[in-house]
Each structure stands twice: as C-alpha cells, then as structure tokens.
Homo-oligomer: A and B are copies of this chain.
Amino acid sequence: VPTFKVTLAYDGTGLVGWQRQAHGTSIQGLLEEALTTLDGRAVSVVGAGRTDAGVHALGQVASATLVRAMDPRTLMAALNAHLPSSVRVLAADEAPVDFHPRFHARTKTYTYRIWNAEALSPFERLYAWHLPAPILHVEAMATAAEAIVGGHDFAAFQAAGSESSSTTRSMHVSSVSRAGALVTYEVTGDGFLRHMVRNLVGSLVEVGRGKRSPAWLTEVLESRDRSRAGPTAPAGGLFLTRVDYDAPGSRP
C-alpha cells in the first residue's frame, strides 16, 4: 500500500480551486478521478495548500495512498496522460505512510504578480493583477512587507467569515521587487490564513499607491481587525510557488 508525494503545477483559470466543490472542476477532483482510474478504487487526495478559485500553482504538493504498487515515474506519466494539460504532475516520489502534505509542511511560498504599466501584456492577462497607474512606490511596499516577518496574529488579513482556531502564523520572507512593469510580492511562512496573501497584497498596494504609509500596514496587523485592511487582490495574480518539508528522517 504505497503512499506517494506528488508535486503539481496548474493554471487555475476557470477551475473552482484546489478543493472539490458541489459544482465546477477542482484540482483535487481531477487528481482523484485520475488516481481512481489508475488504482481501480476510490482514491482520496490531500493537498498542502487549499488554493482558491482562479489561483495558480507552480509547486503544490499532494499525497495519495494506492492499493496498487507503482513505480513513481510510471505514476507521474500515467497521471499526466489522464489530466488536462492545465494540470501537470512535475514529480512523484514514494513517501512515508503517515505523510501529510499540509501538517508536515515546514514552509509554503506564495508569489503575487502585479502588472504596473498602462498596457497589460497579452501574456499576463491571466497571471497578474493589472494596475495601470500610478507607478507603484515599490520601496514603500517593500518596507511595509518587511514588517510582517516574524510571528504575528494575522487576523486582520483573514477572509471575513472564516474561523481558524489560531490566527497566529510565522513569516520568514516577505519581499516586494520590480522588474520592468512586473511588481512581485514573495512571501514564505509556516502557514497562511484564508485570503491572507491576497489581503496583504491589497493592503500593500494601498501603500504603493501612496494612499497609506508603510507604518499603516503594521497598525492594521496589530489591530487584528479585518475591516481596517485593504481590499482582496484578484485570484489570477496568485501562485502557490513551493512547499518545503524537512529532509526525510529529520522530523521528530
């Protein structure tokens, strides 16, 4: 009864997100269908990050336990033969039977992309938030972003109506940079609340537009009040870039 760790990339455009929903196509659903076909019985899949509708992934991680023994490379090829080209298995490895992609993840990294120029590149239509003007003040955004590094209660940046038992998370990297028209926010942390990255980006953009100071973002964070943060940035600019785990055997 082998357990597999599967690394995935997907274009989330038109999908309802990672998790199965009553209606629409989910990545979890596509993967479970493909695995069920391969294994000849119902297979469940667990993902490291429950990406929302329209959010993309460059390195999502999922686990599945099969009845049938299978070489990981064969599994990868068979899954890619079943999945649509918008979802690709990039790697498959055997994993410990108790492997849990979310609970065992040490860090996750998300990237948010903003296209900050008058004309939106045709190649960024589905992969960036288009903010034509003004030119964002990237240094101010970077200063504001840097302030969330460390352990904090991120309740102010949680989706309205969501209930997490704890809203404290620890961020290791939170940086903003520009390359031409492309402004990129990268954030690595031990976990993320629902809509947290998109709410952080919505607030960082308020700072970049000069409507708010970098210190304001820290005030919002400390207030733990969702109503004080900026708007939620659109889903299409967000990528789950990677999920990192401790080296095998280093886990207690």
- On A, residues with C-beta under 8 Å from B are 9-11, 56, 58, 76-77, 80, 85-90, 118-123, 125, 127
Contacts and interface: CB of A to CB of B under 8 A. Distances in A.
Contacts of A125: 11, 85-86
Q: Chain A at the B interface: mostly helix, strand, loop or mixed?
A: mixed
B89 A10 contact: no
Contacts of A86: 122, 125
A154 to B, nearest CB: 29
A31 to B, nearest CB: 14
Given A76-B118, A118-B76, A123 B11 contact: yes
B87 A122 contact: yes
Contacts of A89: 119
Contacts of A10: 122
Contact of A119 (B56, B90, B120): B90
Contacts of A80: 119
Contacts of A76: 118-119
Nearest to A239: B123
A77 to B, nearest CB: 8
B119 A11 contact: no
A85 B123 contact: no
A74 to B, nearest CB: 12
Nearest to A80: B119
Contacts of A85: 120, 122, 125
A171 B77 CA distance: 41
Contact of A121 (B9, B119, B121, B122): B9
B120 A88 contact: yes
Nearest to A121: B9
Contacts of A119: 9, 76, 80, 88-90
A159 B219 CA distance: 64
A9 B122 contact: yes
Contacts of A88: 119-122
Given A85-B120, A123-B127, 4 more contacts: A9-B119, A9-B122, A11-B123, A85-B122
A85 B56 CA distance: 20
